[in-house]
Amino acid sequence: MEEGSPGNELLAKEHRLKEILVKYHSLMVAYSGGVDSSYLADVANEVLGEGVHMVLLDSPNLPQKDRDAALQLAQDRNWSVSVVPTSEFETEAFLNNDLQRCLYCKREKYRMLVLHARENGYGAVACGEHVEDRTDKLRVPLNPLTGNDMVAPLVVAGLTKEEVRVLARHRGLPNWSKPSNPCLVSRFAAGERLTRAAIEKVRDAEGRIRALGFESVRVHPYGSLCLIELTAAEFRMLLDEERRSELVKAARAAGYRQVTVDLDAFSVVCSEVLYA
């Protein structure tokens, strides 16, 4: 068997997933461009054809590159997809940015997904939650927020994160190994009040820096100063004086007066993002 190819047991799980999906006459998939929702979308499109539709929730805290990549993938695979603006920035509890911010954000997004599905006549809303998400204490649980309004077919089929990656690779999905890239709110310290302008500033800075070739950049704002995180490999790129100067200019063009780089470079691993 080719390295990384699914064995018979894993293919049986995918067959089980198809049996689960075919029971829905119409299905809306919460789609973010992450590997889990992309794999679910791919299988659902195979099984249901025109009976499935993807919805990408377009939030200010979604990195621009993730939004663009998700829409490009949907176009490449001929998936039907709608982009729906979110409203979590109209929720006071979310803007306060306490340790429950993910709960408030997800609650609002789930509400919008269910409402959109009902208004457009879809029988169910499916998300890309997998088995390990149910035991991850850092994730916001699905069921207490949505009851029976949303379903998790990957969980019912018994699929783990690594199994989803293997199957996604087998299907030729280009994002099968996509690393974690938490939402832009994660760039802010808990307790610091959120504003749309501050989020857009971070989004702009990361976009400008990424255009210079620093693909895994994360910008953490501290007033007029921004702290930039890079992978170890990209950190070494700063040894080139010209590249370093370009990075500083990019951050300042986004509105930051002072620019510094975290000396403890983060490691990019293949792990799940919140709401993938």
Rounded CA-CA distance 40/48 in Å is 12
User: Does residue 24 sit in the same domain as residue 142?
Assistant: yes
Asked if the structure places residue 3 within a domain, the reply is no
Amino acid present at 180? S
pLDDT attached to residue 275: 30
Asked if the structure places residue 64 within a domain, the reply is yes
In eight-state DSSP terms, residue 37 is: H
Asked if the structure places residue 268 within a domain, the reply is no
Asked if the structure places residue 156 within a domain, the reply is yes
> Measuring CA to CA, which residue among 120, 126, 119 is closest to residue 149?
126
Cβ–Cβ < 8 Å for 25, 161: no
User: Does residue 216 sit in the same domain as residue 121?
Assistant: no
Counting the structural domains of the chain, the total is 2
Cβ–Cβ < 8 Å for 157, 27: no
User: Does residue 105 sit in the same domain as residue 242?
Assistant: no
pLDDT attached to residue 211: 94
User: Does residue 134 sit in the same domain as residue 221?
Assistant: no
CATH at residue 129? 3.40.50.620
* Domain boundaries, position 41: 8-170
Of the CA atoms within 13 Å of residue 201, those in its CB half-sphere come to: 21
Asked if the structure places residue 230 within a domain, the reply is yes
3-state secondary structure of 18: helix
- Can you state the angle between helices 64-76 and 196-210, rounded to 10 degrees? 70
Asked if the structure places residue 122 within a domain, the reply is yes
Considering 170, 203, 230, which residue would you say is the last residue of a domain? 170
User: Does residue 47 sit in the same domain as residue 136?
Assistant: yes
For the chain, first and last CA: distance in Å? 29
Cβ–Cβ < 8 Å for 164, 39: yes
User: Does residue 102 sit in the same domain as residue 234?
Assistant: no
User: Does residue 230 sit in the same domain as residue 152?
Assistant: no
User: Does residue 120 sit in the same domain as residue 219?
Assistant: no
- Express each pLDDT in 28-61 by its tens digit: 999 999 999 999 999 999 999 999 999 999 999 8
Cβ–Cβ < 8 Å for 228, 217: yes
Considering 137, 170, 203, which residue would you say is the last residue of a domain? 170
Report, as ranges of residue numbers, the positions in the chain whose pLDDT lies below 70: 1-4, 136-148, 180, 265-276
User: Does residue 159 sit in the same domain as residue 231?
Assistant: no
User: Does residue 151 sit in the same domain as residue 232?
Assistant: no
Asked if the structure places residue 276 within a domain, the reply is no
User: Does residue 147 sit in the same domain as residue 69?
Assistant: yes
Asked if the structure places residue 154 within a domain, the reply is yes
User: Does residue 235 sit in the same domain as residue 143?
Assistant: no
